[in-house]
Amino acid sequence: MEAIMNTEKRPSSRSIFGLNWMIFFMSDVRPGIGPFLSIFLKSYLNWSTDLIGVALGTMDLTAAITQVPSGLLVDSLKFKRFFIFFACLVISAGCLIILNYPQLVMIIFAQSMMGIATAIIPPAIAAITLGLVGRQRFPKRVSINETWGHTGNVVTAATVGILGYLLGLQWILYMVIVFAGASIFFLLFIKSKEINQAAARALVENHDGSHKTPLPIFTFLRESYLLVFCFSVFLFHFSNAAQLPLIGQLLSLKNPAISSLFMGGCIILAQMVMIAVAYSTGFFMNIMGRKPIFLFGLGVLPIRAVLYTLTDNPILLLSIQLLDGIGAGIFGVIGVVIISDIAKGTGRFNFSLGLMALSQGIGASSSNVMSGYVVNNFGFNTGFITLACIALIGLFFYEIFMPETKNKTS
C-alpha cells in the first residue's frame, strides 16, 4: 500500500506565523517593483512605451529561462529557506542599481538579476508550504497563502503609492528593499526541521517507510497533462500580464502628477477582490472541481480588456480593474493546486511548478513586448483588443484539451 508522504504532526504555530508574515511582505518583493516600474520609467525617466515593454519583458524572460532549473534545485536541495533569503538579497541589489544607474543597459541588467531571483521564490514557498502541512491540507493552505499575499499587496501598494506621491517615485524602489528585509526577518521564524523534505516534492512512501524514486521527467511529461496545462497558463498570462502596466501608462499620460496614486488604487482595488476570491476558491474547488473555476478565471480576461477600450476616465478604469482581482485571485490558488494534482506521487512537484512558471514568464514577457509594440504603433485600444483575442483562444483551448484533475490518483 502506498500513500503520499505526509507528516501527521501539524507544524508549530511559530512556523505558521513566520510563513504567514513572510508571504505578507513578500507580496511586494516577489514581482520586483512590478507594475510600478512602468510609471517610474514613463514619468520619472521619460522612456517610450516600446522601451518600457522591453524593460518589463526582460525580467519576465529571464525569470522564464530560469524557472525549470529553479524547480529542479528546490526539489533536489534541502535548504528551502535559503532560496528565499538569496532572492530577497538579489532583488534588493537590483533596486539599488536602478536607483543609482538609471541607464538602459543597467536597468536591463538589474531586471535580469531580479528575474533570476523571482524564479526561485514561487517553488520555494510552495515547497516549504507542502513540506510543512502535507498534501491533505495543502489546497486549503494555498488558499490561505494567497489570502495573506493579497492582503500584503493591499498594504504595500498603498504604502508605495502614497510615498511615491509624497516623496518621489524613487521610493517605489526603496520600499521594495524595506519589504525584502521584513521578509527575511519573518523567514527566520519557520523551523527548518519541520519541513518534510519528501512531502515538499510530492514523493510517495512505501509501506516499509522507504521513498520511491522520482518519476523520470520525460516519462512524467508523456503520461501527464502538464504540458497541456502549461500552454493554458501561457495563454492566460499572454493576455493578462500587460493589461495593468498599460493602464498605468495610460494614466501617466492623462494625469502624470498623480499616476502613482492611481496605480496604487488599481492594485489595491484588485487585491481587495483577490483576498475574497482566493479565500473562497479554497472552498469551492473542493465542491466544483478545478476546471470550472479556472475556466471562469479565463473568461474574465477578455471582458476586462474590452471594457478598457470604452473609457479613459480614471475612476471607471479603477472600477474595471476590479475584474483583475477575479482572474488573478483564481489563478493564484488554482494553478498551484492543479500542479499538485498533476504531480501527485511523482516527486516532480517543484519541477512542475517551474515549468508552469516558465509558461507564465514566457506569456508575460510576450504580453509586455507585443503590447508595447502594438500600442506604440496602433494605440491603446488596439492593444487591449489584441489581448482580449488571446484570452478567448486560451478559454477554448482549456475547455477542449484539459481534463478535471481533482480526483487524479497517483
Cβ–Cβ < 8 Å for 350, 27: no
- Number of residues assigned to the chain: 410
Per-residue pLDDT averaged across 7-30, rounded?
Answer: 83
Distance of alpha carbon 234 from alpha carbon 379, whole angstroms: 24
Question: Mind listing the pLDDT tens digit for each residue in 145-183?
Answer: 988 988 887 787 778 778 877 887 778 788 889 999 999
Identify whether the C-beta of residue 391 lies closer than 8 Å to the C-beta of residue 305: yes
> C-alpha 52: how far from its chain's center?
20
Strand partners, 4: 204
Asked if 52 and 244 count as a contact pair (C-beta separation under 8 A), the reply is: no
Compute the distance between CA of residue 265 and CA of residue 245 in angstroms, rounded to an integer: 13
DSSP string, 89-122: HHHHHHHHHHHH--SHHHHHHHHHHHHHHHHHHH
pTM: 0.79
171-180, 320-329, 380-389 — most confident range: 380-389
What angle, rounded to 10 degrees, do the helices at 138-167 and 13-29 form? 40
Contact 187, 84 (CB under 8 A): yes
pLDDT tops 50 at residue 88: yes
Q: What is the pLDDT of residues 274-300, one digit of tens each?
A: 888 888 887 788 788 899 999 999 999
- C-alpha–C-alpha distance, residues 238 and 366, integer Å: 6
Residues 6+ apart with CB under 8 A from 319: 269
Q: Return the pLDDT at 225.
A: 92
The least confident of 40-49, 72-81, 257-266, 366-375 is: 257-266
Q: Which residues of 13-43 are buried (b: 16+ CB within 10 A; e: fewer)?
A: eebbebbbbbbbbbbbbbbbbbbbbbbbbbb
Contacts of 83 (CB under 8 A, 6+ apart): 70, 73, 74, 120, 121, 124
Helices (H), 103-241: 104-133, 138-167, 171-187, 217-223, 226-240
Q: What is the pLDDT of residue 365?
A: 78
pLDDT tens, residue by residue, 337-362: 999 999 988 888 989 998 998 888 78
Which domains occur in the chain, in start order?
12-194+219-400 (1.20.1250.20)
Q: Which residue has the higher pLDDT, 364 or 36?
A: 364
pLDDT digits over 231-265, tens only?
999 999 999 988 888 887 777 776 666 666 676 67
